[in-house]
Structure formats: structure tokens, C-alpha cells
Structure 1
Amino acid sequence: MSAAPAAPPSVPPEPRFLPGVRAAPGPPSPMVPPEAPPRILVIGFGNPGRRDDGLGPALAAQLAARQLPGVTIESDYQLCLEHAELVARHESTLFVDAAIDVPGHAPFRLGPLETLDEVSCFSHQLSPQAVLHVAAQCFGARPHAWLLGVRAEDVDSFAEGLTSAAERNLAAALDAALAWIASAATTGQGSARP
């Protein structure tokens, strides 16, 4: 004798809302997020195993420790296609990387990025401009994006830990990143000065 098939689990009906009728208290609706999604994204990228090349992740870690509301912090060894979807979900993005081409003796350079018209995506590593291009092409997103390049002194050694000069540059770049975040939070665009 075979057992009768089990009845399918009952699924509660979708709630229906009428004008002027409030829903009963209960868990938040999965259709409405409990708070607005983060508007600002910071992606610190680089290899901490190559001394100052880890400046991007180091700055991202310092920002993450501050638990800034409305700000998503990411850290990775390099930028890749998956970052385009993340960028597309935010209004403003700050890319942070080590830089050996900072002019003069400045501790960092900060400037807006433009989306490239064409990009080669046959690599596991992308530039910030290429990530913006993929975000535009695949997701129709054109967020405001800036690059914060923190002056690096040693990116060739195979060792962890920043040089003392890079530590000083990181402190100055952190202040610049916080000012950029404050500007992005109020204007939606970010700027070199709040």
C-alpha cells in the first residue's frame, strides 16, 4: 500500500492593501527595504603582500572601522567584472589605489573618472574606468566616480606592511576620503573639497 501524496505546504496569500488601510504590525515587507540602500561605495584595491600596493585595502579597512552610515566599503586585490554590478547599485563610487605617479610631493591625487567608450574585458583585472564602462553597458548605470591614488614608495617588495612614508600618505588620504564621502552624501557627486 502506498502512502497518499503529502499536501503541498500552504503559502499565505499576498497581503492586499486598500487605500487608507494600514497593514497590521509584523515583520517588514520583503518588497520594501527597512532603510534606504547605501548611496556611496568605496573600493580599496591592491595587494597588501607587496608593501605599499596595499594602500587601497588599508584605507578601506580604516573607513570600514568607522561604520559610516550609507557607505558600502569593499576591499579586493584587483578590480574585476563583478565590481561593475556593485558600482551600478550606488550613486557615487570612490576607487582607492596605490599610486607611483602622484605629482610633486603630494601624499595623494584625487580626481573624477570618466567612463571609457571602449574597453577590453579579456582580463581578470580591470581599470576603474573599465568597471564604469561595464556598469554602464550591462546595468545602464552611470554613477559619479572618483579615483583616490595614494602615493606609494615601495610596490615591488614581497612583504606585508606599509612603509613609514606610505603610512603618512595614508593618514592624509583618509582625511581626503572622509571629505569626499561627506560631499557625496550631501551632493550625490563627491568632490575634492566638501
Structure 2
Amino acid sequence: MTTAAILIFGYGNPGRGDDALGPELVAAIESEALAEVECQNDMQLQVEHVTDLQGRQLLLFVDADASCQPPFHFSAIRGEKDDSYTSHAMTPHALLHAFQQVYHQEPPPAFLLRIRGYQFELGESLSRQAGGHLDAAIDFVQQRCRQPHATAWQESATPDL
């Protein structure tokens, strides 16, 4: 089995309203069955996911965010040890740092797509506003997948605040 060049990893809790934005985006992209794209999702990033990063050319992490500007924020990220490094749930930065520690090499170029959400209460459904942001994010990711090169993705990235 060959490893797809691009890994899109959405995370969030589908039972908490807009927190489902990451998994929802993954489901939409996965339904297109793009040859060079593998989609995964989980409720949170964990150290075990470090093995999923091997052999990739590009990584895209997708999460809901209550503080970014609508409709979404797309940025390049790198491995950094942070407070989540030793916890069960990790940030993408900590997961990339763990990759460096485990494999003694730089991880593939990585990006974070934070989609603006509003409702995160248990039992809530996806808000109408977040649904619109999700549609815009899906279009954006589809365009990135048509240009599977780190330089093209980097040109689309905005600085992380």
C-alpha cells in the first residue's frame, strides 16, 4: 500500500456543534476520492498519530476555532514543544515536534486551517454561520489539492498571530 502524498487530518468533537468543522471538512474532501489525498479524523490529536505523518509530502490539520477571523485562517506551522506535548490531546505543533523526536528528521511541510465556529456546546448542531465558513474552507482545500506543492500552499498562507 502506497502512502498518499497529502494527509488532511481534521479533528474535533462532532457532538459539540461547530467543533465538528474539522471532521466535516475531511468528510467532504474524502468523498471526492482524490488519488494523492488521504483523509483522517479524530476527536483530538494524540502522539500515536505521529506514525500517520510518515512518507507524506504535505500535511494539513483542520480544526474549528472560536477566535480566528471568518471564514477561516490558513497558516504554515512547524514543530514546537508546548504545554500539550505531554498530555493526551496535542496541538499540531506538538505532534510535529514529536515526529522530530521519534524519527530524527524534519516533518513534511505542514499547514493549519482554522475554521471560524460559534457554537461549541454539547448536543448543538453545526451553526448556519459555521456551515457557510465550512463551504468556503472546502473550496479552498479543493484548490490546494489541485496544487500539491509546498511552495503553492505557502503562497496561500497568512502569518499566524
Answer whether TM exceeds 0.5 for this pair. yes
Asked if 1:85 is matched to 2:51, the reply is: yes
- Aligned position for 1:175: 139
Tell me how far apart the structure 1 counterparts of residues 79 and 71 of structure 2 sit (CA, whole Å): 25
Which sections of structure 2, spanning at least 5 residues, go unmatched? 157-161
Alignment of 1:51-130 (within 5 A): 51-103=17-69, 106-116=70-80, 118-120=81-83, 121-130=85-94
Q: In percent, how many aligned pairs have the same letter?
A: 31
Paired letter, 2:122: F
Counterpart residue type for residue 123 of structure 1: S
The one of 117, 139, 143 equivalent to 1:152 is: 117
Paired residue for 1:27? Answer: none
> CA shift at 1:119, angstroms?
3.9
Q: Secondary structure at the match of 2:126?
A: coil
Which deviations, in whole Å up to 9, do the C-alpha atoms of 1:114-155 show, x marking residues without a partner? Answer: 211x34532110000001001111122421000000000111
Task: Report the CA distance shift for 1:192/1:149 in structure 2 as closer, same or farther (over 3 A).
Answer: farther
Is the partner of 1:79 in helix, strand or coil? coil
CA distance in 2, matches of 1:129, 1:49: 25
Relative distance call for 1:47 and 1:192 in structure 2 (3 A) is farther
Structure having the higher Rg: 1
Contact 1:46–1:78 (Cα < 8 Å) also in 2: yes
Q: Distance in 2 between matches of 1:143 and 1:100?
A: 27
Query: 107, 132, 139: which is aligned to 2:96?
Result: 132
Letter aligned with residue 109 of structure 2? H
Separation in structure 1 between the aligned mates of residue 6 and residue 76 of structure 2, nearest angstrom: 15
Structure of higher RCO (CA pairs closer than 8 Å, 6+ residues apart):
2
> d(CA) in 2 for partners of 1:146 and 1:167?
22
CA apart distance, 1:88: 2.5
**For residue 40 of structure 1, what is the aligned residue in structure 2?**
6
The aligned length equals 154
SS of 2:51 mapped into structure 1: helix
The aligned residue for residue 50 of structure 1 is 16
Q: CA RMSD in A?
A: 1.8
Counterpart amino acid of residue 139 in structure 2: D
Instruction: Tell me how far apart the structure 2 counterparts of residues 71 and 84 of structure 1 sit (CA, whole Å).
Output: 17
Structure 1 unaligned blocks of 5 or more? 1-32
Q: Distance in 2 between matches of 1:154 and 1:160?
A: 7
CA-to-aligned-CA distance 1:1-57 (integer Å, 9 cap, x gap): xxxxxxxxxxxxxxxxxxxxxxxxxxxxxxxx6xx5311000000001000001000
Contact 1:84 1:135 in 2 (8 A): yes
Supply the distance in 2 between the matched residues of 1:57 and 1:170 (Cα, whole angstroms): 11
